[in-house]
Structure 1
Amino acid sequence: MTQTVFAPWDDPDQQPLIRFQNVTKRFGEFVAIDDLTLDIFEREFFALLGPSGCGKTTMMRMLAGFESISEGRIELSGKDIGHVPPNKRAVNMMFQSYALFPHLSVWDNIAFGLRRDRKSKEEIDSRVTEMLKLTRLEKFARRKPHQISGGQRQRVALARSLAKAPKLLLLDEPLGALDKKLRQDTQFELMDIQESTGTTFVIVTHDQEEAMTVASRVAVMDEGRVIQVATPANIYEYPNSVYVADFIGDVNIIDAKARPMGENTYALDWIDGQPPLRAESKTGFSEGQQAHLAIRPEKIRITKEKPEDAPNALEGKVLDIAYLGNLSTYHVQLPGGQVIKAQTANTRRIARRDITWEDPVWVSWSATAGVLLEH
């Protein structure tokens, strides 16, 4: 049985759940969101990713109804929600601080919204039990928030947000307060919960690793604009700009002038006195056009001997080594002074490593290893 790939954004017949249409948000003179158009589909786990101040939280607050729109419109299920008050939207928001009621038990925290909606006792009991099970909190139902761990409090906040079965759950830096190990575990829990409930999740984060782990698609933002929207794999492998390449993961950027050499093949003149580099690109570049070659460190080989058959091989010396347990990143200085990072998996014990500081080495990569970018 073949598994169908979840990609509603590739299907022209699919209607988005959320639609931002030419949305602008101003605070006085300051433009926080600049003419933004974006579609998010049902059942998506969508990440808004960018540095502080890029507008991602403002977007989320507009979706929740806490901020008004200066221009444009936001639709939820085809309806304009610009004038719908927050409590009338099928949207729930989970805050970074979790905002749990300290005097209420885990059970009562989860039941809070249902009681306010005047649900029957049977409905509340059944829904809270379901949420406790979903978030694996049954054992903690009678405890108060201060009697459980940070990760458990985070799950209580999630259970409370999902109890009212919103169409859309907004998560603002939800894992920011957790330590790295717990954060990673919780990311997978979030993905499982999102999948089993089928709720559309939109998460705001400045943590690229988190966005790449949990999301079906990622929108990389800068200064109120969306720079690229794509699946995590495509954002990583096919960034559309130096900004995106640089924001996601580690990358080497080599500035050069492009010379067409045949179909989709270019020579790159990058520094005087060094042979041109070779790159393949489906994006067209004209003779002498400025280009930027973005190559991930794991796609660069580092060797002591000159490789025989590599289309790109440069000599340098090891300036620095960052040992990350499973990986080592070598910083190699080239003759022109530029530093290239090459990454290798540590399959052998560190004592048996054959390349060390100050060693003369060769870094090499194929013509298809990098992405040629215009800007």
Structure 2
Amino acid sequence: MPQTVFAPWDDPNEKPLISFQRVTKRFGDFTAIDDISLDIFSREFFALLGPSGCGKTTLMRMLAGFETPTEGKIFLAGQDIAPVPPNKRAVNMMFQSYALFPHLTVWDNIAFGLKREGKDKDAIEARVNEMLKLTRLEKFKSRKPHQISGGQRQRVALARSLAKAPKLLLLDEPLGALDAKLRQDTQFELVDIQEKTGTTFVIVTHDQEEAMTVASRVAVMDEGKLMQVSTPDRIYESPDSVYVADFIGDVNIIEGRAHQTGDNVQVIWAEGQPPLMAKTQKDFSLDQQCWLAIRPEKVAISAERPQAPNTLRGRILDIAYLGNISTYHVELPTGHVIKAQEANTRRIARRSFTWEDEVWLSWTDTAGVLLDR
């Protein structure tokens, strides 16, 4: 049987688990959250992504109950959560510091919340063992936090947060303290655990790669506003503003003026340079300011002039060698620098281009995204 695609946000009959309705949060004169409306669905792994100070943590703290909206309402499973104190919400929060009890074993750390709720001994035993198994910590259950690694401590904090079976788990920069390799492994573990438990996860992160790896949908934020909310592939391939294109991944952005015929646009962008060709579904007025965003992996680099809708001549200024790929920074006669990326399928000694080489850059008319803001 073909697997059905998980996309409750596309189903008008699906009721959201969380609904922010025109929520604003002010601290004195400062507006941290500016009139945000957002729906998050059950079983979603939702990422709030943006630079420091964009409001993502404030949004999460309102869900947890540590802050209250200045205006607007937040609903959880159809209930206005404003009057519900933090400890009575079906929400749990996992902090960046993990906040484990140093004097308790892994087992007792996970059991802590269940004991406080006064659950009976057998129920606690069964639930803790289930959590240990889920997070692959059975061997470490008798150890104290200082006797296990950072990645294992992270899993203990996760197991403890999930033990009470919350409807919603909030994760505040949960992988911030881990090194790059471990971070990557842990991202996949998080996705796996989220799918197994069916708990709705909302993660706050400033790491775009992390958001793109774990999330079913991403909300890109800036200065208290939602810039775009969509699936990771749509945000990467079809950003709807220069801000989002620039924030996610590496991108070339060329500013110009649009001259449109049907879905074909000529972008007039530099004195003495041929116009760039792009296709778009948007409507641009004559000579309207526009921005062409092209990912470096969509730009080809060659020694001879290729047959392509867009070809530019330039000189290699810099080469970033990243093992599996090389990024060439190519300076055009106009002073613009365009990045082109190539997979390193051959050994580095056999690389075709080097610094100062004159090269041709090319891309198709559908490779870029034409933006109007």
The TM-score range, normalised by the shorter chain, is: over 0.9
Which residue of 2 is the match for residue 6 of structure 1?
6
Between the aligned partners of 1:72 and 1:338, the Cα distance in structure 2 is 45
Which residue of 2 is the match for residue 41 of structure 1?
41
**SS of 1:98's equivalent?**
coil
Q: Which ranges of 4 or more aligned residues in structure 1 deviate by more than 4 Å?
A: none
Which residue of 2 is the match for residue 340 of structure 1?
338
CA apart distance, 1:69: 1.1
CA apart distance, 1:286: 1.1
Which residue of 2 is the match for residue 248 of structure 1?
248
Between the aligned partners of 1:183 and 1:277, the Cα distance in structure 2 is 40
**SS of 1:32's equivalent?**
strand
Between the aligned partners of 2:299 and 2:233, the Cα distance in structure 1 is 19
1:197-231 Cα offsets, whole Å, 9 max, x none, are 00000000000000000000000000001100000
| Alignment of 1:179 onto 2:186 | no
Which residue of 1 is the match for residue 201 of structure 2?
201
| Alignment of 1:53 onto 2:67 | no
* AA partner of residue 16 (structure 1): P
Which residue of 1 is the match for residue 106 of structure 2?
106
Between the aligned partners of 1:264 and 1:360, the Cα distance in structure 2 is 33
1:160-205 Cα offsets, whole Å, 9 max, x none, are 0000000000000000000000000000000000000000000000
Between the aligned partners of 1:207 and 1:201, the Cα distance in structure 2 is 16
Between the aligned partners of 1:274 and 1:31, the Cα distance in structure 2 is 44
Which residue of 2 is the match for residue 301 of structure 1?
300
Q: Output aligned runs, 1:135-214, within 5 Å.
A: 135-214=135-214
1:251-309 Cα offsets, whole Å, 9 max, x none, are 0000010001x3210111000100111000001111100000000000000000000x2
Between the aligned partners of 1:87 and 1:41, the Cα distance in structure 2 is 22
Between the aligned partners of 1:82 and 1:22, the Cα distance in structure 2 is 14
Which residue of 2 is the match for residue 318 of structure 1?
316
How many residue pairs end up in the alignment?
373
Q: Output aligned runs, 1:72-151, within 5 Å.
A: 72-151=72-151
Q: What is the TM-score with the length of structure 2 in the denominator?
A: 1.00
CA apart distance, 1:28: 0.6
1:59-94 Cα offsets, whole Å, 9 max, x none, are 000000011111000000011001110000000000
**Which ranges of structure 1 fall in alignment gaps of 5 or more residues?**
none
Which residue of 2 is the match for residue 273 of structure 1?
272
CA apart distance, 1:105: 0.2
Between the aligned partners of 2:331 and 2:308, the Cα distance in structure 1 is 19
Between the aligned partners of 1:327 and 1:354, the Cα distance in structure 2 is 13
CA RMSD after TM alignment: 0.4
Which residue of 2 is the match for residue 288 of structure 1?
287
Q: What is the TM-score with the length of structure 1 in the denominator?
A: 0.99
Between the aligned partners of 2:220 and 2:349, the Cα distance in structure 1 is 40
Between the aligned partners of 2:178 and 2:266, the Cα distance in structure 1 is 47
Between the aligned partners of 1:276 and 1:294, the Cα distance in structure 2 is 15
1:304-329 Cα offsets, whole Å, 9 max, x none, are 0000x200000000000000000000
CA apart distance, 1:354: 1.2
Between the aligned partners of 2:281 and 2:42, the Cα distance in structure 1 is 32
Between the aligned partners of 1:276 and 1:6, the Cα distance in structure 2 is 41
1:101-131 Cα offsets, whole Å, 9 max, x none, are 0000000000000000000000000000000
**Which ranges of structure 2 fall in alignment gaps of 5 or more residues?**
none
Between the aligned partners of 2:266 and 2:352, the Cα distance in structure 1 is 33
Between the aligned partners of 2:115 and 2:291, the Cα distance in structure 1 is 57
**SS of 1:250's equivalent?**
coil
